[in-house]
Amino acid sequence: MLSSPQRKPFSPRAVLVITLAVGVLLFGALFTGILVLTAAIKPVMIAAFLRQVVGVDPATWPHTTLVTWVSMAITALILLTFGAVISGATVWWEMRVSARMQSRIGYNRAGAGGFLQWIADAVKLLFKEDLIPAEADQLLFRVAPYFVMTGFALTFVALPFGEGLVAADLNVGIFYMVAVTALVVVGILLAGWSSNSKWALFGGMRAAAQVVSYEIPAGIAIMVPVLMAGTLSMQGIIRAQGAWPWQWFVFTNPAATVAFLIFFISQLAEGNRTPFDLPEADSELVAGYLSEYSGFRFALFFLVEFGNLWVMAAVLTTLFLGGWQIPWVSAADWTAARGALGDLPGAGWWGLQLLSMLVMVLKTLVVLNVIVWIRWTLPRIRIDQMMNLCWKYLVPFAFAAFVFTLLWQVLLARVPLLATFTGFIMTGLFVAMAALFGRQVKANIAASGDHVDLTNW
Amino acid sequence: MNVTAEQVIFLAFAVPLVAAAIGVVVARSPMYAAMSLVGAFFCLAGVYVLLTAHLIAFLQILVYAGAVMVLFLFVIMLLSLGGEGQQLDRLKQLQWLGFVLGGGGLMALLAWISREVAGAEMAAVGPDFGTIKAVGRALFTTYLLPFEATSLLLTVAIVGAVVVAKEKI
Amino acid sequence: MPLTPLQTYFPIGLVLLVGSGLALVLLLLANVLGPRRPNAAKMSPFECGSVPVGSARDRFGVKFYVVALLFIVFDIEAVFLFPWAVLSTELGWAGYVEMLIFVATLVVGLAYVWKKGVLDWAE
């Protein structure tokens, strides 16, 4: 659109400025909103805000409840907007990365580096005809996207963004996450069945069989960090870890490393990501359960699918990779920065919160990037391989990791130093493996006569 | 907690719950019956939350609205019970029997509730009542034998599933 | 002023409302903005451009059903692990033994399924 022949195209510099402005403003506003609002909707904070800023007594002021509800509703809206926007940005990133990996150009029309493409796509889909096949079940066809959408939206309630930055730190945290994602399966089955199309039905059945199968190893693998932290709360699990890699659960217990891998693979499968994209394998099933969906109904499914990548990566970061923990900042520092509980916290506390959010977001993006790499590296597996991998490898290994962790925790109670020791060794091993991997990649590139070119990004 | 607020929330869950439950029985298409059941499960989870049975509420969603529902949907698809209602004339008489029995049961229940429970103050519960820790503590100490028996029951269920499926393959 | 148990659920209820509300608004908007020119070909189920053959409501392999049953069994089992994992330190040695027995029984179930060949999808 920006370079249509009828209109004088913007200069590349202007396009870059516009893109940067949109990107920075959009994400700046969203992250600021999440930072301020998720921290502020706690009753203590609202009470302090009313007393110190508005100058009324929250206990007697008639509108206290109203303020609480409105701020909660705005928070919910911002979190969902964030989910939608991050989903779009992930699509853009995925398309750019895949283009680089396949020596293509990729998105480059709307905005600098094609960054505005996902906005253009969303607007386009809004203007598309919304078809419901004549033979489809009219009601259930319409209901299915809501199941998927609410299942996705609900995960954001317990998803941590920083130390005090979570909409609700439920004490059943991770259990809640597992429970609400179960909704998505019902939505997928419903979409597949109600479409009354062979592709859709088969895709729906495959998707449901795959998702429910991989929920078992995922559920057992989750037990390992839960056992190590002794709590189900997402924030509690992060607090039980440290900021340095050798204090992360993934490295302090060999079984947790196994559990991490099992959980990672299961998450890929539950998100229908390659190599587990057989439910919507476009070369055999058209688009699986989505085949008959068009227009914005399709967009909602698509949004959830890519938005889920963020949720996936954030949960992995929370359970195994130390979440938002900042180096050199201990729990005591947080309490000190918070000051008196009845007062509004000072700038130092907000700075720490911002820092913790930065750590969390960076880790999540790294994990997300790995998920994107995997999609463009591995081929799709067959359905029998998918079932074998789940029931014959992941489930037994998850059980083994769980039982090992039982014994490990008993051992740790006697020899607490063991965790630190293991942490250092495992971190060292990981760094060595990463170095070897990098060297091999470099050697492969040199051997093929290719070179790394980042100039035309 | 304001009593009226709690009552409003209760009604907001209870009325759709009864409506959905009736929908399960009345719906002609098995698919719609299953969907009504999902709705009923959700409303029931809300009622559990009101009773401060937190763990049970999430179990309700995870196990019933999630797992059991998937099984139901699979069975509906497996038997290709279509969207069009199944006419089962021979069950017409049974319908009346069910109506009488169900209505009688409801009456008995209501009579019992009005005699035993109505008017009585609800006992206050501790702050950790119904939390995962409290339920777990009871489960793994007081109710240890039933808990271990569950694993046996689950294993029997696995064997049963295999036998049923193997016959058909 | 700690949260009462019920208050911790308010965000969940709100997100549920806002989430489905957002989906509803977007779909309504698309409904208003989008064109509406249906024809028979558009409204028929997609079958790669040819005329659809037979009904889509076909019967499915019994394997899917077995997977769902296995899922329920192991899901319920995982559900029991959650409260146990939270309490593991409190329960001590007795707790470990309890859980080992529980898990062992289920592993036996898994082994049975495996041996019976139910897990072999391609037969």
- Check CB contact under 8 Å for C86 and A226: yes
Residue A209 in contact with partner chain C when CB distance is under 8 A: yes
Give the rounded percent of residues in chain B with a pLDDT score beyond 90.
6
Structure tokens at B69: 């529902």
Reported as a pLDDT band with limits 50, 70 and 90, residue B169 is very low
What ipTM was reported for this prediction? 0.84
**pLDDT < 50 regions, chain A:** 1
Question: Using CA atoms, how far apart are residues A143 and A146, in angstroms rounded to an integer?
Answer: 6
Per-domain residue ranges for chain B?
1-84, 93-123, 129-169
Task: Give the range among B70-79, B97-106, B151-160 with minimum mean pLDDT.
Answer: B70-79
Residue owning tokens 């689950």: B154
The CATH number of B1-84, from 1.10.600.10, 2.40.50.140, 1.20.120.1200, 3.30.540.10, is 1.20.120.1200
Count CB neighbours of A23 within 10 A.
Answer: 17
Per-domain residue ranges for chain C?
1-36, 60-123
Name the residue type at position B95. Answer: Q
Q: Are residues A256 and A111 in the same domain?
A: no
- Check CB contact under 8 Å for C15 and A291: no
Q: Residue A362: its pLDDT value, please? A: 92
∠C30-C36-C38 over CA atoms, to 5°? 130
Q: Are residues A384 and A439 in the same domain?
A: no
Q: Are residues A324 and A300 in the same domain?
A: yes
> Chains near A, with 3+ CB pairs < 8 A?
B, C
Task: Give the range among A88-102, A435-449, B14-28, C76-90 with minimum mean pLDDT.
Answer: C76-90
Question: Using CA atoms, how far apart are residues B43 and B12, in angstroms rounded to an integer?
Answer: 9
Q: Are residues A325 and A435 in the same domain?
A: no
Question: Using CA atoms, how far apart are residues A175 and C115, in angstroms rounded to an integer?
Answer: 32
Q: Which of A67, A95, A127 is the last residue before a domain boundary? A: A127
- Look at A246 and C2; give whichever has higher pLDDT: A246
Nearest-Cα distance to chain C for B29, in Å, is: 14
Q: Are residues A68 and A20 in the same domain?
A: yes
- Look at A337 and B21; give whichever has higher pLDDT: B21
Residue C10 in contact with partner chain B when CB distance is under 8 A: no
Question: Using CA atoms, how far apart are residues B99 and B112, in angstroms rounded to an integer?
Answer: 20
Q: Which of A178, A185, A193 is facing B31, going by the closest CB pair? A: A193
Q: Are residues A383 and A419 in the same domain?
A: no
Q: Which of A86, A112, A127 is the last residue before a domain boundary? A: A127
Are the C-beta atoms of A229 and A237 separated by less than 8 Å?
yes
Residues of chain C contacting B55 with CB distance shorter than 8 Å: 83
- Cα–Cα distances (Å) from B111 to A12, B98, B115, B118, in that order, read 79, 20, 6, 10
Count A/B contacts: CB-CB distance under 8 Å. Answer: 60
Please choose, from the candidates A295, A312, A11, the residue with its C-alpha nearest in 3D space to the C-alpha of residue A130: A295
> Alpha carbon A227 to chain centroid distance?
23
First-to-last C-alpha distance (Å) of chain B: 57
Q: Are residues A33 and A60 in the same domain?
A: yes
What's the pLDDT tens digit per position in A365-415? 999 999 888 888 888 888 788 888 888 889 889 988 988 888 888 888 888
What's the pLDDT tens digit per position in C39-65? 777 777 776 666 666 666 666 666 777
Residue owning tokens 């607090």: A239
Confidence check: pLDDT of C11 > 90: no
Residue C4 in contact with partner chain A when CB distance is under 8 A: no
Count CB neighbours of A183 within 10 A.
Answer: 26
Reported as a pLDDT band with limits 50, 70 and 90, residue C1 is very low
Please choose, from the candidates A173, A146, A268, the residue with its C-alpha nearest in 3D space to the C-alpha of residue A211: A268
Which residues contact residue C117 at a Cβ distance below 8 angstroms, ignoring those fewer than 6 apart? C123
Residue C63 in contact with partner chain B when CB distance is under 8 A: yes
Total number of domains constituting chain A: 3
Question: Using CA atoms, how far apart are residues A88 and A91, in angstroms rounded to an integer?
Answer: 5
Confidence check: pLDDT of B5 > 80: no
Structure tokens at A333: 């520092």
Please choose, from the candidates A68, A47, A69, A43, the residue with its C-alpha nearest in 3D space to the C-alpha of residue A58: A47
Please choose, from the candidates A132, A242, A250, the residue with its C-alpha nearest in 3D space to the C-alpha of residue A191: A132
Q: Average pLDDT, whole number, for chain B?
A: 79
Which residues contact residue A453 at a Cβ distance below 8 angstroms, ignoring those fewer than 6 apart? none
| Enclosing domain of residue A41 | 1-127
First-to-last C-alpha distance (Å) of chain C: 62
Give the rounded percent of residues in chain B with a pLDDT score beyond 70.
83
Question: Using CA atoms, how far apart are residues A339 and A350, in angstroms rounded to an integer?
Answer: 12
* Residue C55 zone, left/alpha/beta (φ > 0; ψ -120 to 50; rest): beta
H helices present in B51-131, as ranges: 54-59, 69-78, 92-116
Whether this model's pTM surpasses 0.90: no
**Burial level of A277, CB count in 10 A (0-12/13-18/19+)?**
buried
- Check CB contact under 8 Å for B66 and A143: no
Residue B158 in contact with partner chain C when CB distance is under 8 A: yes
Residues of chain B contacting C90 with CB distance shorter than 8 Å: 137
